[in-house]
Amino acid sequence: MTIAPLVPQLPSSADVAVIGAGLAGLACARHLTAAGLHVVVVEAQDRVGGRVRSEEVDGFRVDRGFQVLNPGYPEVRELLDLKALRLQHFDAGIAVQRGGAVAALRDPRRHPAALLQALRFPLGTAAEKAAAVRWVLGTASAGALKQRDRSWREELDAAGVRGELRSSLIEPFLAGVLGEDDGSTSARFVDLIVRSFLRGTPGLPAAGMGAVPEQLAASLPAGTVVTGVSAEHQFIGPREHVVQTAGGGVGVRATVVATDPVSAAHLVGLEAPAVHPLTTFWFAAPDSPAPASRARLIHVDGDRTGPVVTTSVVSEVAPGYVLRRGDHRALVSALVLGERGGAESQEQARRHLSRIYGVDTRGWELLTAHVVPAALPALPPPFAGPRPVALGERIYVCGDHRDNASQQGALVSGRRAAVAVLRALGALPARAR
């Protein structure tokens, strides 16, 4: 068993202390332990995962905010056993409500029967569709990442992507992915995100997104992760560090801070990056509000008449999110930008969902609302790529804020921090990856 018991048992010493058991910290610990180092991962919460967690609410499994796992990310394929996670995929496409009618658009490469449907998609002129296709295909080129950076709104303007196809489909979809709707994110980062969607179809693990960090934790030596203990500060001596926690001090040769960016800034004196907050409402509906033909699609409102940027019938994609046998209710997610978990925002989201799905939502039960203040780090242009993980004096930092705002970024930053630690401790040749 990897995760420590309720009474935390901290070792008095280790080679490396990793502070934070989110994706980045767990990935870092996995690389370090694979190299033979003694590692202790200190997590303040009662379980692993950080922002990637699942919980049970009134017979449903819900994730902490709307999240998906993209198997197109190289680091995901490298570190995770996707077969064991039993990934259940969304359809590769999107459903758009416009003027009371809903049109579905699917990727013809994955859904060949949808080619005619794509050609007849009612939004946008032929010229607008051609420009959008050129832009999407351009993001698949590695050369696109070397172009001058600017905001993604400016990039779409330059690519000639205009009109209702942009305003009703592309912009609301990207708002849900990026956590902002002002077009301020780096176009080069958006290229990376679009490429990932072209390479893999996102899905949900059968046991929830929380199964991802749990799988990473389970791959570590027994007792590596200690939960329910917060790191308070650290002392840097001539021969070792002492990480002071509520459960005592741990003497280590190096420390990796793998917390959220705000906590990391406090622990190691970094400047906290700008972040995008997100709110997710989870509703239980009497049955699926989407017909079978588009039940597994993410939905957006092309009229953009409310706060919901993306919504989905999660139980149609992952039936295991309904925990009780014989329970025929549907689980519906609604993603809203900002910190908007109050009663007024909840009612606005409920009314908006009624327009998106074309059904009466007044009887839907609100299961829970997740407000995540630092859901995603902001990435304005120019996107310079990975930021340094070594801060000097054998202190390191990792997380999506050191790489890019994605699961890929979090996992890669964990690997980069591990490599830097191994080099500093002489456990890895200087030229090794």
**For 142-162, how does the pLDDT look when each residue is reduced to its tens digit (9 = 90+)?**
565 567 899 999 999 999 999
Range list of β-strands (E), 225-325: 225-227, 231-236, 241-245, 248-252, 254-257, 275-285, 298-301, 308-313
Backbone angles phi, psi at 72, to 5 degrees: -75, -15
Q: Are residues 42 and 61 in the same domain?
A: no
Range list of β-strands (E), 77-142: 88-89, 93-98, 101-106
Task: Examine residue 62 and state whether it is found in any structural domain, yes or no.
Answer: yes
Q: Are residues 131 and 155 in the same domain?
A: yes
pLDDT value for 145? 59
Domain boundary residue among 156, 175, 199? 199
Q: Are residues 62 and 39 in the same domain?
A: no
pLDDT value for 41? 96
The CATH number of the domain holding residue 101 is 3.90.660.20
Report the candidate in 328, 334, 330 with the shortest Cα–Cα distance to residue 312. 334
Q: Is residue 270 a contact partner of residue 263, using CB atoms and an 8 Å limit?
A: no
Q: Are residues 141 and 104 in the same domain?
A: no
Q: Are residues 147 and 104 in the same domain?
A: no
Task: Examine residue 77 and state whether it is found in any structural domain, yes or no.
Answer: no
Task: Examine residue 5 and state whether it is found in any structural domain, yes or no.
Answer: no
Task: Examine residue 431 and state whether it is found in any structural domain, yes or no.
Answer: no
Task: Examine residue 2 and state whether it is found in any structural domain, yes or no.
Answer: no
Q: Are residues 406 and 265 in the same domain?
A: yes
pLDDT value for 266? 81
Report the candidate in 297, 332, 103, 322 with the shortest Cα–Cα distance to residue 202. 297
Total count of domains within the chain: 3
Q: How far does Cα 267 stand from its chain's mean position?
A: 23
pLDDT value for 9? 74
Q: Are residues 265 and 357 in the same domain?
A: no
Q: Are residues 103 and 145 in the same domain?
A: no
Q: Which domain holds residue 96?
A: 54-70+87-122+201-206+275-377
Q: Are residues 264 and 296 in the same domain?
A: no
Domain boundary residue among 180, 199, 218? 199
Task: Examine residue 82 and state whether it is found in any structural domain, yes or no.
Answer: no
List per-residue pLDDT tens for the chain, 433 residues long: 455 444 457 887 889 999 999 999 999 999 999 999 999 999 999 999 999 999 999 999 999 999 999 998 999 999 999 999 999 999 989 999 999 999 988 887 777 776 667 767 888 889 998 999 899 888 766 565 567 899 999 999 999 999 999 999 999 999 999 999 999 999 999 998 998 888 888 999 999 999 999 999 999 999 999 999 887 766 676 667 777 777 778 888 999 999 988 888 888 888 888 999 999 999 999 999 999 999 999 999 999 999 999 999 999 999 999 999 999 999 999 999 999 999 999 999 999 999 999 999 999 999 999 999 999 999 999 987 889 999 988 899 999 999 999 999 999 999 999 999 999 998 775 444 4
Q: Is residue 315 a contact partner of residue 357, using CB atoms and an 8 Å limit?
A: no
377: β partners: 275
The CATH number of the domain holding residue 229 is 3.50.50.60
Report the candidate in 395, 401, 384, 393 with the shortest Cα–Cα distance to residue 417. 395
Task: Examine residue 432 and state whether it is found in any structural domain, yes or no.
Answer: no
pLDDT value for 4? 46
Domain boundary residue among 199, 230, 256? 199
pLDDT value for 116? 67
Q: Are residues 403 and 358 in the same domain?
A: no
DSSP secondary-structure letter at 186? B
Task: Examine residue 80 and state whether it is found in any structural domain, yes or no.
Answer: no
Q: Are residues 214 and 93 in the same domain?
A: no
Q: Are residues 367 and 387 in the same domain?
A: no
62: β partners: 55
